């Protein structure tokens, strides 16, 4: 429980810090540094731990950061962490951390897109037109966070 609490804390801090970085982010895209910690929780402690870390991080970052973003981040955290856990189990734990990260990032972005589609009163065709861009961005972000998670997991396992 202590280790999971530390992972939740670290993921929350990373999420809040990443939101505060003064870098231009087209379409509100960000790397998703907190997802590195979700991947660590998944590989080291299993699917339940990963879902717990992702959901608690989304909730706490929403409370301490930007509460309106909770509408987008919480469902995406649930879906992405569950999808990574299911893929990890279904592959017999043979899918790489990078593969899990890319799949989680795609699930995360598509979930947020679906939330925007159903919640916001925008032109729905323009919302769905963002899908290819968000998928490409998710693949790139998933590769980077997957590499970071792989490095961190290797050093934590020692």
Secondary structure (H, E, C), the chain: CHHHHHHHHHHHHHHHHHHHCCCCCHHHCCCCCHHHHHHHHHHHHCHHHHHHHHHHHHHHHHHHCCHHHHHHHHHHHHHHHHHHHHHHHHCCCCCCHHHHHHHHHHHHHHHHHHHHHHHCCCCHHHHHCCHHHHHHHHHHHHHHHHHHHHHHHHHHCC
Domain coordinates in residue numbering, the chain: 2-157
Query: For residues 44 and 153, is the Cβ–Cβ distance under 8 A?
Result: yes
CATH number of 2-157: 1.10.1760.20
Condensed to tens digits (0 to 9), the pLDDT of residues 31-87 reads 889 999 999 999 999 999 999 999 999 999 888 877 777 888 999 999 999 999 999
d(C-alpha 10, C-alpha 24), whole Å: 24
User: Alpha-carbon distance 85 to 153, whole Å?
Assistant: 16
Name the residue with higher pLDDT: 103 or 156. Answer: 103
Residue-wise pLDDT for 119-130, tens only, equals 876 677 778 888
pLDDT of residue 24: 65
Judged by phi (left if over 0) then psi (alpha if -120 to 50, else beta), residue 28 lies in left
pLDDT tens track for 102-111: 999 999 999 9
Q: CA 68 to CA 114: how far, in whole Å? A: 16
> What is this structure's pTM?
0.90
């Amino acid at each position: 429980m202590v280790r999971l609490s530390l992972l939740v804390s670290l993921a929350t801090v990373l999420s809040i810090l990443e939101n505060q970085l003064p870098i231009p982010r087209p379409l509100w895209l960000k790397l998703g540094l907190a997802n590195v910690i979700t991947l660590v929780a998944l590989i080291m402690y299993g699917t339940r731990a990963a879902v717990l870390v992702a959901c608690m991080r989304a909730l706490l970052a929403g409370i301490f950061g930007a509460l309106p973003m909770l509408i987008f981040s919480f469902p995406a955290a649930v879906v992405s962490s569950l999808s990574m856990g299911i893929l990890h189990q279904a592959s017999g734990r043979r899918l790489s951390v990078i593969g899990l990260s890319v799949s989680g990032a795609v699930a995360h972005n598509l979930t947020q897109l679906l939330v925007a589609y159903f919640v916001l009163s925008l032109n729905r065709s323009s919302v769905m037109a963002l899908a290819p861009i968000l998928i490409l961005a998710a693949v790139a972000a998933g590769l980077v966070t997957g590499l970071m998670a792989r490095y961190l997991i290797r050093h934590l396992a020692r």
